[in-house]
Chains A and B, each alone.
Chain A
Amino acid sequence: MSESDKSVDELIKSEYKHGFVTDIESDTFEPGLNEDVIRRISARKNEPEWMLEWRLKAYDAWKEMAEPQWAHVKFPQIDFDAISYYSAPKSQENAPKSLDEVDPELLRTYEKLGIPLHERARLAGVAVDVVFDSVSVATTFKDQLAKAGVIFCPISEAIQEHPELVKKYLGKVVAQKDNYYSALNSAVFSDGSFVYIPKGVRCPLELSTYFRINEANTGQFERTLIIADEGSHVSYLEGCTAPMRDENQLHAAVVELVLLDDSEIKYSTVQNWYPGDENGNGGIYNFVTKRANCIGKNSKVSWTQVETGSAITWKYPSCILKGDNSVGEFYSVALTNNFQQADTGTKMIHIGKNTKSTIISKGISAGKSDASYRGLVKFGPNADNARNYTQCDSLLIGDKCGAHTFPYIESKNKTGVIEHEATTSKVSDDQLFLCQQRGMDAERAVSMIVNGFCKEVFKELPMEFAVEATKLLEVSLEGSVG
């Protein structure tokens, strides 16, 4: 094992590839949070009065709330007054109309990240709404989308241009007071994406947003709202990387999905934020509230996530299956290494008749990390013939990590069927031995086994993402053979 141990060490020590700070002048608020800061954020964005009131209401609620303590994660108390709540690249005044006008420094950043924006946009047919820190700077393929009637824009723009839609749905899936971090987000959210797919439209492109956290000490608070009108279909991709720094950063996003009759949303995430160094210093705190509300009949929502980054992940993409025959799916791979901690899972709340949900969760822990699955499956009294299948498997690599499962299963309907399975094991010595016997090094063998372990989830990812996810997993995992 000494051979592989050595390569383990080497690879574990491999530094975060995407760690660098882009030197762009930013317009950043001084740290601290009070009513005045919220008024200033709102004013900076030229928001209408109702939006400001909405934010202030959330702030009032947040002041009364306490941080949740139940998750299986440990971190030092966050000083919310040490965070700056607004940061925007200065060049925002004259927002670029095409990629050519985008700050070349920015473009280089994406190149360093391995995301050739224009190429990706044209060749892969993906429209990218780039959120650089908090303000959207470039949106591509707007015309093509506009032709289909799809609205895909920064949420700050939607507040100006489509207030009726925003007013109707914002905060209706994730209430302002839903939890501590959603209240904070509601008060100070800077920007995010807004998507509206009109009746009967199948979105011609896969919509994609790349988030980038840049300014040190800036909390990033995106707000995403996707509305799928009757009979529409959309696939939305979200992926993230962040520069290297020492101080922990707070990230508290809220994502709301609204599904009307017969609509479908597929939401895929690859998350690779800075996880902290090998000693557990730094890294992003990722406290996200994601929820879909299947209001309409026969609607379908599918969450797919590959989580490899962040020092702490606190994330439970959920489905409220309100409409009859609606379907909720959750596919997740959560990988933790070094001192990372992840407490992630989903909630499937069955309210309507004949609702179905599937949960496939794969947790991989290496190093000294902790990965937990925490999920809720709830059948209400009216959820006749509801069905749930849950499978959560954990893989342990090394004897200093932890893998935990905390499922909550609640049924109030006698016609419902719930199945839950969970297993925990390590990469089998036999499998490893067999691969090595055939000339494969331990690294590649583990990588292959882990890939096989995650296959059920990867096959749900859109093509480009699946490739990226596989690579990500390799980089994050390689050498963790123990």
Chain B
Amino acid sequence: MRVLGQIATLVRKDLLLEWRGRTRGLSVVLFGIVTLLLFSFAVGPDSAALRAGAAGFLVLALLLSSTLALSEGFRLEHENHALEGLLLAPVEPMALYYGKALSNTLFLILLAPILTPVAVILYAVDAGPATLVQVIGLWALAAAGLSAPGTLFAAMTSRLRSQDVLLPLLLFPLVVPVLLGSVKAIALVLGGDPMGQLSSWTVLLGAFDVIYWTLSGVLFTHVVEEGV
């Protein structure tokens, strides 16, 4: 119960900091929108091709935005030795991990109601409110999948000057199943699912989330012991 209380406090702290600063949120949202725009420029004015690739562009925008969000999350903790203060409080390392991973997930989920309508407009996708809710649900699963190993790697690389290179280098290959699963699932939601494949892709996303939320939580303690 004590750990759960610590997780809730950490999430509240992170969201409060985000709400007061708003700089990370604004920059990540703008980055996501610019990424969506760039995809439409890269493909050209072919609306059929844009519509066909909408799910992929949307998930790639999430993936690229996530690296900005994840690296910023731990950078804040190094200012004024905040992380050491938390550990001395004492906050359990496991609570620290789950608090950070949860606030990162919530932060990435909050991008969905902004980026999804932008993608719907830019790529001329025919999607009603029910479809958008489904897309946001799948987005949440993908965000959780990115945040679980992403938070662990962000903690490991946050002290390194080359974090901008290392975080994507470690994270991107690992989250390919999340990328594949969410792109396929969102494409099926947007374009129809005559073969009933949506559930298998959703299960893949869920399984990835369960494995990495468990494994990363256990390993984070060792990472913290060496000083992040």
Chain B associates with chain A: no
